[in-house]
């Protein structure tokens, strides 16, 4: 494939946009090489600036769960656009989507719309703090909850110590209130609760982690967190920005039958437009402004174009009785068949999968936390990524990311993927 125009566009972008991109992972720093600039997308495929076509396993990092530019969603956006892009006033449409989500997702009475997953998680933590009157919270290494200061904290030296800022610009004062534990390590969480008795407002987790590659909760980890939170009077926050409407319509709460106190959403909920949301029971959500004292606001929150794209996407999913069965089956076939091919080439690997999320770790051992994910052979992943890209398969450009399977990926796309992976040369 030729990337002449992409290369030229990247050089130009580099002059005016920091690093040439508006979100770091797009720059291909992890896998090396020059990022590919896209100009259009339809169904399972992306087309780049040089007119190369790719079968897409990123799907805008999750939102394009129906495949790109679904005709019904496109029509709904066009119709709304005719009536105006944004009013800064309440609309009936906002109640329509709120009611629809509240009625179809377990354990939530009210939902507040925002414009990104970052905003949703940042606001959920503020609300948890306001509700409990406590400052600290626990998160897990390798989970991502957006880029707000409190989340950009890496683990300290021991389970009972404070974290350290992982980005310049985040203060050590902020870091003091963020505690880190290893994913799937319930004892570390118990230790943190013991050493910070009465100070922990919440535990926030990706119920299936997707930001260190795909990592599943093991040994009833989520149920155990629920029990610990109840015991210590802390809120359990499920960050379902990735898993919401993907693992099931009711997300991980429905799939694992574990109740969260607050749930955050993003990605699929906006159908490709910028939307996030957070939701919970009345007793908690009533603390938000203007009813309560915890402040949160947004000029474009509940934006009508975004709400229409989101609601239409959710309705299409909900009205298709076999939706989850189909995308899960596609993912399962990819898992088994790719596994067979890699085994036939004697390439050590692990494929983690839940629902329509999966990722390959080139690792001899199972991958249950961030350390395991880091110990995988990322150089080999990078080689794998580039060989696939050159043959028209677009994977997330990092071994720490999850593949998002869309409903537009059918047998033809599966066959093409397997054919390309069959050509993979371990060098």
Ligand X SMILES: *Cc1c(COP(=O)(O)O)cnc(C)c1O
Query: Cβ of residue 71: shortest distance to ligand X, in angstroms?
Result: 25
Given a contact cutoff of 8 angstroms between Cβ atoms, the answer to whether 422 and 388 are in contact is no
Instruction: Tell me whether residue 100 is one of the annotated catalytic residues.
Output: no
Q: Which is nearer to ligand X, 29 or 386 (CB)?
A: 29
Q: For residue 52, how many C-alpha atoms fall within 13 Å in the half-sphere facing its CB?
A: 20
Given a contact cutoff of 8 angstroms between Cβ atoms, the answer to whether 277 and 240 are in contact is no
Under rule CB under 6 A, residue 118 binds ligand X = yes
Active-site choice (48, 56, 177, 239)? 239
Instruction: Report how far apart, in Å, the C-alpha atoms of 354 and of each of 193, 206, 209, 240, 251 are.
Output: 29, 13, 10, 14, 12
Helix runs in 345-377, H state only: 370-374
Under rule CB under 6 A, residue 37 binds ligand X = no
Task: Provide the total of helices (H) and of strands (E) in the chain, helices listed first.
Answer: 14, 16
Q: Which is nearer to ligand X, 58 or 241 (CB)?
A: 241
Integer Cα distance of 198 and 231 in angstroms: 11
Q: Which is nearer to ligand X, 147 or 281 (CB)?
A: 147
Can you tell me which of 76, 121, 186, 360 binds ligand X, judged by CB under 6 A?
121
Instruction: Tell me whether residue 329 is one of the annotated catalytic residues.
Output: no
Can you tell me which of 116, 188, 253, 352 binds ligand X, judged by CB under 6 A?
116
User: In the window 273-332, what residues touch ligand X (CB under 6 A)?
Assistant: 276
Query: Cβ of residue 381: shortest distance to ligand X, in angstroms?
Result: 19
Q: Which is nearer to ligand X, 244 or 413 (CB)?
A: 244
Integer Cα distance of 17 and 425 in angstroms: 36
- The footprint of ligand X on this chain (CB under 6 A) covers a number of residues equal to 15
Residues in contact with 423: Cβ distance below 8 Å, sequence separation at least 6, in sequence order:
387, 391
Integer Cα distance of 281 and 235 in angstroms: 11
Under rule CB under 6 A, residue 272 binds ligand X = no
Under rule CB under 6 A, residue 144 binds ligand X = yes
Integer Cα distance of 127 and 66 in angstroms: 32
Judged on CB neighbours under 10 Å (0-12, 13-18, 19+), 149 is middle
Instruction: Report how far apart, in Å, the C-alpha atoms of 205 and of each of 82, 83, 137, 180, 375 are.
Output: 40, 39, 11, 11, 22
Under rule CB under 6 A, residue 211 binds ligand X = yes
Site string for ligand X, 148-187 (x = CB under 6 A): ----------------------------------------
Under rule CB under 6 A, residue 146 binds ligand X = yes
Instruction: Tell me whether residue 45 is one of the annotated catalytic residues.
Output: no
Can you tell me which of 70, 112, 145, 350 binds ligand X, judged by CB under 6 A?
145
User: In the window 238-257, what residues touch ligand X (CB under 6 A)?
Assistant: 239, 241-242
Contacts with ligand X by CB under 6 A lie at 116-118, 121, 144-146, 206, 210-211, 239, 241-242, 266, 276
Annotated active-site positions, please?
Answer: 144, 239, 267
């Amino acid at each position: 494939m030729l990337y002449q125009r992409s290369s030229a566009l990247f050089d130009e972008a580099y002059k005016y946009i920091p690093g040439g991109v508006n979100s770091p992972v797009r720059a291909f720093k992890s896998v090396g090489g020059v990022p590919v600039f896209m100009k259009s997308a339809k169904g399972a495929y992306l087309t780049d600036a040089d007119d190369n076509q790719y079968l897409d396993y990123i799907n805008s990092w999750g939102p394009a769960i129906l495949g790109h530019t679904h005709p019904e969603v496109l029509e709904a956006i066009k119709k709304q656009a005719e009536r105006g892009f944004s009013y800064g006033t309440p609309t009936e449409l906002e109640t329509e989507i709120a009611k629809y989500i509240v009625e179809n997702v377990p354990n939530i009475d009210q939902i507040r719309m925002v414009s990104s997953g970052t905003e949703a998680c940042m606001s959920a933590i503020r609300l948890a703090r306001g509700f409990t009157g406590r400052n600290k919270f626990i998160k897990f290494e390798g989970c991502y909850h957006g880029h707000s200061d409190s989340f950009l904290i890496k683990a300290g030296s021991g389970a009972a110590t404070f974290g350290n800022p992982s980005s310049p610009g985040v203060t050590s004062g902020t870091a003091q209130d963020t505690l880190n534990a290893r994913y799937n390590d319930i004892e570390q969480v118990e230790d943190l609760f013991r050493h910070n008795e009465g100070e922990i407002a919440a535990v926030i987790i990706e119920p299936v982690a997707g930001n260190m590659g795909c990592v599943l909760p093991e040994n009833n980890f989520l149920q155990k967190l629920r029990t610990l939170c109840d015991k210590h009077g802390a809120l359990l926050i499920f960050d379902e920005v990735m898993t919401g409407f993907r693992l099931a319509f009711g997300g991980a709460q429905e799939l694992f039958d574990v109740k969260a106190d607050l749930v955050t959403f993003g990605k699929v909920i906006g159908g490709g437009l910028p939307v996030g949301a957070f939701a919970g029971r009345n007793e908690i959500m009533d603390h938000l402004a203007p009813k309560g004292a915890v402040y949160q606001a947004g000029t474009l929150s509940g934006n009508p174009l975004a709400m229409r794209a989101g609601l239409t996407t959710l309705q299409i999913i909900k009205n298709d009785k076999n939706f989850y069965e189909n995308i899960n089956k596609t993912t399962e076939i990819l898992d088994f068949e790719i596994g067979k091919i890699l085994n036939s080439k004697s390439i050590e690997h692990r494929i983690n999968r839940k629902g329509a999320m999966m990722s390959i770790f080139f690792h001899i051992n199972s991958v249950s936390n961030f350390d395991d994910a880091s110990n995988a052979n990322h150089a080999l992943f990078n080689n794998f990524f580039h060989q696939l890209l050159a043959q028209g398969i677009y994977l997330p450009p990092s071994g720490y990311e999850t593949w998002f399977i869309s409903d537009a990926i059918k047998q033809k796309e599966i066959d093409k993927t397997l054919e390309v992976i069959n050509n993979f040369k371990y060098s």
